[in-house]
Amino acid sequence: MDRALIKDFSYRLKEIAKDLSFLGHPRYPIRELNQLFPQHRTFIQELEDVSVPFPVNVDEKKRAMATFLTQLAKAELPPSLKQIFTQRIQDYHLLLSMMENFDNVFFYEHCTKLYGTSHKMGKNNAFLYFLEKVPEFCIEDTSERKLQGEEALRYLREKMTETFDPADFEVKPSTSLLSDSSAGRRTLKLNPFKAYTTGHLDIFLVHEGWVHLGTSLNGAAQVDNPWLSTWAPKTTFMQEGLAIVTELITGCMTKERWNKVVLRHLATSMAERGSSITEVYEYLRHHEMADLDAFKLTLRVFRGVPFEGGMAFTKELLYLHGMIELLYHMHFFNADLRSLWVGKISFDEHIMLLDNWKILEPQLKYFPKRLDDPEVQARLKKLQELSFSLFNHGFL
């Protein structure tokens, strides 16, 4: 296998992917938001207006992708790797189409091609039964100590150093997040104005730190397979599923947290079925979600789509869909957690890696030691068996 050729196409793929993670920095019709939610005017000021163009030259990206595919077809690479690279390019094309159709019905159509829809799941009794069983794996948050600002940031930094080299990451405050925390290639961000229990912070550590940031750092450390450090839309399915599963098996998932995960799914489903942005917001508030938290989640659901309803940004479904698919996938392919931590991968890409592990030799720089604990492994096994028994022909 020509490793130099793999590197060359990997770096070109990385260049094409650059600036395409625009959905993490969405635009909104600010004027309309101020009219609908005057009580959240302060937070709305932190958002970008929909009139601000995305910093991407679409024509240039399309030419680069066309050239990439032409040269990939002639390259002496394994067919399985060619297929992976080709699929990523096709998904990047969908992202460009979403960018060109931001805030209209075509955005939603392309979105469902990448992230699916909730329409089938509402009638799936196995899916509903699975959701009812998961609280058995959840705990009550009994932690009373609350941390805020620098104290909370310091708590996360110290916990992160138990797994990662301090030189490889940073923990920073951010006031414009649509969630309480998020992770980038080497940065974990936290809302500094909100007070969190240590239980909340442990969830952020596991979800954003161990999974999202950890797989980014491992991908960046791949010498022979740099493509594993490159984000692609379908990798989100695996990433969010892995993050939720990791919360559950480590005993971090509280009942309050699980209810919020389910509410994300229900809010997305409501929007797809015709509920407006104000109706979804009121639904979340009715379910005892704090006003600003309800507003932020509503904004996540309505990224890129009209506020009238009938459409949604369906990436929010991947927390539950990805979790169940991951459990089924691990059981069916007898896969261990370590193989999932090598970088940013989709389910199909993971299968290809398993088939070619000795040839590609992906490296693993970081892996949370706690995941090797027998009790954690036992919880994982129990969840896998539940998923496989309910979805013995596949989840999606």
Domain residue spans of the chain: 126-254+319-390
Per-residue pLDDT of the chain in tens (396 residues, 90 and over written 9): 688 999 999 999 999 998 887 776 789 999 999 999 999 999 999 899 999 988 889 999 999 999 999 999 999 999 999 999 999 999 999 999 998 998 889 999 999 999 999 987 767 889 999 999 999 999 888 877 899 999 999 999 999 999 999 999 999 998 777 778 888 889 999 988 889 999 999 999 999 999 999 999 999 999 999 999 999 999 999 999 999 999 999 999 999 999 999 999 999 999 999 999 999 999 999 998 999 999 999 999 999 999 999 999 999 999 999 999 999 999 999 999 999 999 999 999 999 999 999 989 999 999 999 999 999 999 999 999 999 898 877 776
Which residue, 268, 232, 336, 256, is CA-closest to 122? 268
The closest of 357, 93, 85 to 230, measured between CA atoms, is 85
Q: Can you give the chain as a three-state secondary structure string?
A: CCHHHHHHHHHHHHHHHCCCCHHHCCEECHHHHHHHCHHHHHHHCCCEECCCCCCCCHHHHHHHHHHHHHHHHHCCCCHHHHHHHHHHHHHHHHHHHHHHCCCCHHHHHHHHHHHCCCCCHHHCHHHHHHHHHHHHHCECCCCCCEECCHHHHHHHHHHHCCCCCHHHCEEEECCCCCCCEEECCCEEEECCCCCEEHHHHHHHHHHHHHHHHHHHHHHHCCCCCHHHHCCCCCHHHHHHHHHHHHHHHCCCCEHHHHHHHHHHHHHHHHHHCCCCHHHHHHHHHHCCCCHHHHHHHHHHHCCCCCCCCCCCCHHHHHHHHHHHHHHHHHHHHCCCHHHHCCCCCCHHHHHHHHHCHHHHCCCCCCCCHHHHCHHHHHHHHHHHHHHHHHCCCCCC
Distance CA(69)–CA(257), nearest Å, equals: 43
Report yes or no on whether pTM surpasses 0.85.
yes
Residues 280, 284, 290, 292, Cα dihedral to 10°: -20
